[in-house]
Every structure is written in structure tokens, then in C-alpha cells.
Amino acid sequence: MHTPPNKERSPYLPFGDRQDAPFYFKDILSVKQFTRQDLDYIFAVAHEMAEMVRRVGTFDLLKGKILANLFYEPSTRTSASFTSAMERLGGSVIPINEVRYSSVSKGESLPDTVRTLERYADVIVLRHPEVGSVALAAKYTEKPIINAGDGIGEHPTQALLDLFTILEEMGKVDGLTITMLGDLKYGRTVHSLARLLTLYDVKLNYVSPDILPMPDQVVAEVREKGIPQQAYNTLDTVLPESDVLYVTRVQKERFEDLGQYEKVKSEFIITPEVMKAAKEEMILMHPLPRVGEISMDLDDDPRAAYFRQVGYGLFVRMALLAIVLGKA
């Protein structure tokens, strides 16, 4: 029987770190672990990171620290973003992207893999196709683990960067109407974002094909927090009142029946014509990759925030790495 490690008394705790700091040596598994005060702290550190990147580009805050970037599912942005974040902080990265070529394909279990990697690295970033797998892995390692997406479950670091984007671009979150559009059933980024937004005074709209609604579990959690939410199957009614339109990709890889995917994949496409009905000062977000949901003709529209969103992600991930390693 495995006894979960006590990370607060881990033999790995490096001498001399600020051990009293919030999130020191903690796992980042779900947005449910954050309070609004935590977010203020993380975003304050992210601001400092942005300033340092602007001023010096790369610096030595995490010099000598090593990140294991363990990806069991494809990733471009999240893995590159964590790599860039670690390297801009002066640390280094063990990239493990093609897990099918590593021991997992030989049948090694996730617990064994993380118990091995913790001997090499100071922090582990993990993406895995199964909901709950990252939380399971965290039980087997004394090093901090960061969830980079667990199947259709959560993507907490994406939600943090999404929220940071809204704050930076709109100057506030309270009072905003946020419309989430696309694959709300399988899109883990909207599951995390909707939960995180319950810490604010917002109104949520969900627009999706009939077969891809926001899961009951997320809807129930949002309801419990008293946040107004409403589901629609067309964008027309809610676009003019939206301050943020958050578009997601239909998650082809989650469909058992590709015929179903083909039927719904192009149900919502945001074009310059569609955006005529949107507010002048709203923002259009997307976690990327996009596969046609937002027309490229919109990229020069000042409201198109998705590439700026990628940039904010770097600062948030730098902040998280510095925080869990006690150097913020």
C-alpha cells in the first residue's frame, strides 16, 4: 500500500528556499485550489516576470533547477511555453514528448515514471490523456507536479493565463459577460476557466453544438457559487452583450464516431461578418490551436487577442515555476 508523500517535509526540500511562501513545493492540479488572493499573488509575480523579460530577456532566478516536461499527449504551445519559461529563468528542461518511445510504451506505470523523474528533476510538468492521472502521479512524487492537461478534465495553467489575459486586456474581470463557444463538452480549457471565473462577479454564456454542452458537473459547480450562466445553441443573441468571446476547437481526438465530429466541426465559425455584431471593446480569445473556428481574416482585428494570450502564458508559467520552487 502506497503512502502519499508529505511534500511539506520532503527530504528534497532545498536548503535556504523561502519555505513559508504560498504554493512552495505544492502541486498545481486544479483551479479549485485557488482563492482570489492566490490569483492576485500569482498575477503580481507574472507582472514582474513580464517586466524582467522586457528588460533583460533571460535571467538566473532558477539557475541550476531542472524541469521534466512529460507529455503523453501532443502539445506545441504548452510544452514550448514551459520550456521557454524555464529557460528564461535560467533553468533547464528534460523534454519527454514522444512518450510512445519511452518506457511507458514498454508498460511502465505512471507512478514509476514520475518516481524516476523526480530523481533527475526539481519540478515535473505532466500532460496525460486520462482525467485524474496528474493527481494520481502527484501522490507518488515528493517534487511539485504541474497539471498541463489531464484528458478532458482540467488545464489549470491555461485557465490562469486566460484570466491573466482578460485582466490585462480588459483591466478587470468583475462585471464582465464571458461567452464560451465551441466544444464545451471535451474542451478542458473551458472546464477550468468556468470554474476559475466563479471567484469573480461575472455572467457566463455557453454556446455549443447540441451534442457538446458544458458538462453537468461544471454547471453544478458554477451554480453552487451563484454565478449566472445560460446555455445557447446560437451565438446571435449573446454576441452583442459579450465582453469576452472565448472560442474553442472541436476536440476531434475525443470522438469515438468521427462522423459525429464531421457533423459539428464547422457549426460555429467566427468571421469579420460575425464580429460586426460584437462590441468594439470586446476581446476574442482562443487557447489554440485553431482549426478553422476563427477566420484568419480576423487576425488584424484589434479585438483578436489569441496571440497576445500566448505571450501572457509565458509570464504566468514563469511565475508558477518560480512560485513552486520557492524563488518568487
The footprint of ligand ASP (CB under 6 A) covers 77, 149, 155, 188-189, 249, 287
- Closest to ligand ASP by CB, 155 vs 195, is 155
Minimal distance, residue 189 CB to ligand ASP, in Å:
5
C-alpha span between 321 and 62 (Å, rounded) = 9
Q: Residue 175 region, left (φ>0) first, then alpha (ψ -120 to 50), else beta?
A: left
CB–CB of 151/129 below 8 Å? Answer: yes
316: left (phi over 0), alpha (psi -120 to 50) or beta: alpha
DSSP labels, 235-283: STTTGGG-SEEEE----GGG-S-HHHHHHHTTS--B-HHHHTTS-TT-E
Supply the Cα-derived Rg of the chain in whole angstroms.
Answer: 20
> Closer to ligand ASP at the Cβ: 90 or 129?
129
Nearer to ligand ASP, 5 or 287 (CB): 287
Q: CB 54 → ligand ASP: shortest distance, Å?
A: 26
Instruction: Compare residues 157 and 242 and give the one whose CB is closer to ligand ASP.
Output: 157
Between the two ends of the chain, the Cα-to-Cα distance in Å is 36
Nearer to ligand ASP by C-beta: 5 or 151?
151
Residue 292 has which C-alpha cell? 478553422
Distance of closest approach, residue 240 Cβ to ligand ASP, in angstroms: 26
User: At its nearest, how many Å lie between ligand ASP and the CB of residue 250?
Assistant: 9
Smallest distance from ligand ASP to CB 183, Å: 8
- Cβ nearer to ligand ASP, comparing 91 with 287: 287
Q: Per DSSP, what are the bridge partners of residue 128? A: 150
Closest separation in Å from C-beta 76 to ligand ASP? 8
How many degrees, rounded to 5, is the angle at CA 190 between CA 144 and CA 259? 115
Grid cell for residue 249: 476547437
Nearest residue (CB) to ligand ASP, 165 versus 189 = 189
Consecutive H or E run containing 104: none
Q: Which secondary-structure segment (H or E) carries 229? A: strand 229-232
- Least distance from C-beta 287 to ligand ASP, angstroms? 4
